[in-house]
Amino acid sequence: MEIGEDLLPKDLPEVLVIKPPPPMILFGDKFIAKKFKILKAWESPLPLDQFLTNYAHSVKAVLCSGASPISPQVLNFLPSLRLVVTASAGINHIDLPECRRRGIAVANSGNVLSEDGADAAVSLLIDVFRRISAADGYVKQGLWASRGDYPLASKLGGKRVGIVGLGNIGLQVAKRLEAFGCNILYNSRKKKPVSYPFFSDVCELAANSDALILCCGFTDQTRHMINREVLLALGKEGVIVNVGRGAIIDEKEMVQCLVQGELAGAGLDVFENEPNIPKEFFTMDNVVLSPHAAVFTSESFIDLCELVVGNLEAFFSNKPLLSPVTDE
């Protein structure tokens, strides 16, 4: 039974939530309602501007996700804000420079979602190479009996896999693929202290890879970073997997490459205009689709809720944040 607001201590720290992040949607606010007073903007009949104005001088912490961008306009209504906690690894929905300028700390999901994200990326890669989803459809449609054996797939072991973004998720992907006997190459903003070959140019990485896995964040610099030139460099036998953000790929060019046979296949968890995706994907058995769910499991949601609470508790106790976003 949820604790009624009228039974909560009156001096609980206030935490503003403009729209509930996925963990709150799934679990309600039971993880944080006992420790914080949640200001639920999405439930208020007031326009957002007026709701924010009402709490302008009291709110010091905001909990958000990609569904509730923290823009300069929002920040202007909250002059007392000192912390933004996001329930995601990505921070492209937060105006980080503006937060820095105003002295507002930012915390994200840290490493909590990395293992599940890596599992999903590798799963998509295996599915595309081994054609598991396509073969499943072949059997369920009765085609095995009527047409005979399914066409041969491709093995994963020995493949050269280029990882774009060797951060928390990228490193976990590399670790898993090494166990499959893959050769790992990577591109990142900076060269990492790892033994994998580093490519500063994504197009060159693609030309030397059998598959690309996108694990990088979405920024102005990474928008459409995977363009037609990169896709053609990956080649007709190449596979691309995206668990980063949809707009990292020029989606229209990728669709054309797939339609024209200039790319062997794709495993996609994210899309440029999700949940609306190109209709061409629906008829492609060399494309495996997932509804932006790579990092989400029941276990990761619980861990994420605990991390969110930990960051908020640390902030209100004047202790270091558990997963601060730094300039590195």
Q: Is 245 a catalytic residue?
A: yes
Look at residue 34 in the predicted model and tell me its pLDDT: 75
Q: What percentage of residues in the chain have a pLDDT greater than 90?
A: 83
Look at residue 11 in the predicted model and tell me its pLDDT: 77
How large is the average pLDDT for residues 227-249?
97
Compute φ and ψ for 61, nearest 5 degrees. -140, 140
- Residues 16 and 82: their CA atoms lie apart, in Å, by 12
pLDDT tens-place string over residues 52-83 = 999 999 999 999 988 889 999 999 999 999 99
Look at residue 5 in the predicted model and tell me its pLDDT: 46
Q: Is 274 a catalytic residue?
A: yes
Report pTM.
0.88
Give me the domains of the chain, ranges plus CATH numbers: 5-110+298-316 (3.40.50.720), 114-289 (3.40.50.720)
Task: Write the DSSP assignment of 294-307 as a string of letters.
Answer: TT--HHHHHHHHHH
Tell me which of 245, 251, 253, 272 is the catalytic residue. 245
Tell me which of 130, 189, 228, 292 is the catalytic residue. 292
pLDDT tens-place string over residues 7-54 = 445 578 999 999 888 766 655 566 677 789 989 999 999 999 999 999
Residue 12's CB is within 10 A of a number of other CB atoms, namely 16
Look at residue 10 in the predicted model and tell me its pLDDT: 59
